[in-house]
Amino acid sequence: MILFGNEINIKTYNCSLFKQAPVKKEKETIALYVKFKGCNASCNFCEYKNNASDFDFKKYKEILLHLKENIWVNKINLTGGEPTLNQPLFKKVLKLTREIFPETYLILNTNGYNLLKLSKNKNIYPLISNISLSRHHYENEKNNEIFRCNTINSKDIDNLNNISKTWQFHVTCNLIKGYIDNKEEVYKYLDWVASINVASCSFVSLMPINEYCKDNFIDFEKLNLEGERFKLTKEWNYEDKCKCNNWAYLTNNKNGWVKVYTKNTYKPLDITTSLVFDGKNIRAGFNEKIIA
């Protein structure tokens, strides 16, 4: 379809479930990723460390209004970098996004910076559908080592999870050599997730965007996790570009289950069925094609 005067690829079929033929979507939708480039951390697998104030708010508003007139945006991710680094900017962007798209599923991807402060603002946290917390190790010290800064600790995550029933709280773990990289470590991580009362988590294999990611890549499928306590429930494929699985993990005390999502993106630059606003321009997918 045509958006911003350019022909855009729209995902008209759902991903293939258990390698069956993909089913046609009921209506055309698109996801929007809004990137805040500044960050308090300095992770080796990330390249978004620019000035957090480098954000064209006027253009962002124009883009949202154009999308609202032309297509249903089913999901918006506020991501980074670290979206909450510049609190005034984050609040401004969040309020505008929710004002224009009041029903859209809105996700905040964060390393936890400023979450405690934001949680005290009752006018802010109800605007967010899902908090996806980047947490790459169950031990606070090792997580700090990965982020190369002090991050939110387990106790505070547990407290945050109990603040509001409005949030769906979720943790996301990058699989990295020397950290969460084998079956035993994955199980320890999931037991930690259960201990802080979080019901779901994701494991993500590093995308091949730099040498660190290539050298420290862990393929989730090769960890041989499926067994009595770890069951596959769904398997999704999007052509040869990426693969997602849903799992259920029975905790070590066998008192409850943790929902697990895994994703492996093989060709990130080939996925052009999402839009990315990088603070200045809107792009088709995560490649370099600027469309507005």
CATH number (domain holding residue 126)? 3.20.20.70
CA 170 – CA 203 distance, rounded (Å): 11
For residue 215, tell me if it sits in a domain.
yes
Per the structure, the count of domains in the chain is 1
pTM above 0.85, yes or no: yes
Q: Read off the pLDDT of residues 113-159 as tens digits, 9 standing for 90 and up.
A: 988 888 888 788 789 999 999 999 999 999 999 999 999 999 998 88
For residue 289, tell me if it sits in a domain.
no
Q: What percent of the chain has pLDDT over 90?
A: 46
Element (H, E) at 109: strand 105-110
CB contact at 8 A, 82 and 109: no
For residue 232, tell me if it sits in a domain.
yes
Please state at what angle helix 87-100 crosses helix 57-70, rounded to 10 degrees: 20
Q: Read off the pLDDT of residues 5-39 as tens digits, 9 standing for 90 and up.
A: 888 777 776 777 778 887 777 778 889 999 998 89
**How many other β-carbons are positioned within 10 Å of the β-carbon of residue 48?**
18
CA 171 to chain centre: 9
Domain extent, residue 207, equals 2-284
Tokens for 258, please give them.
């943790």
pLDDT exceeds cutoff 70 at 50:
no
For residue 168, give the amino acid letter.
Answer: Q
For residue 273, tell me if it sits in a domain.
yes
Count of all residues that appear for the chain in the document: 292
Confidence class for position 266, pLDDT limits 50, 70, 90? low
For residue 292, tell me if it sits in a domain.
no
Based on C-alpha coordinates, what's the Rg of the chain? 19
Confidence class for position 248, pLDDT limits 50, 70, 90? very high
Omega cis (within 30) before 279: no
Confidence class for position 239, pLDDT limits 50, 70, 90? confident
Beta-ladder partners of 248: 231, 259
pLDDT of residue 145: 97
pLDDT exceeds cutoff 80 at 166:
no
For residue 260, tell me if it sits in a domain.
yes
For residue 149, tell me if it sits in a domain.
yes
Q: In this structure, are strands 16-17 and 230-238 parallel, antiparallel, or unpaired?
A: antiparallel
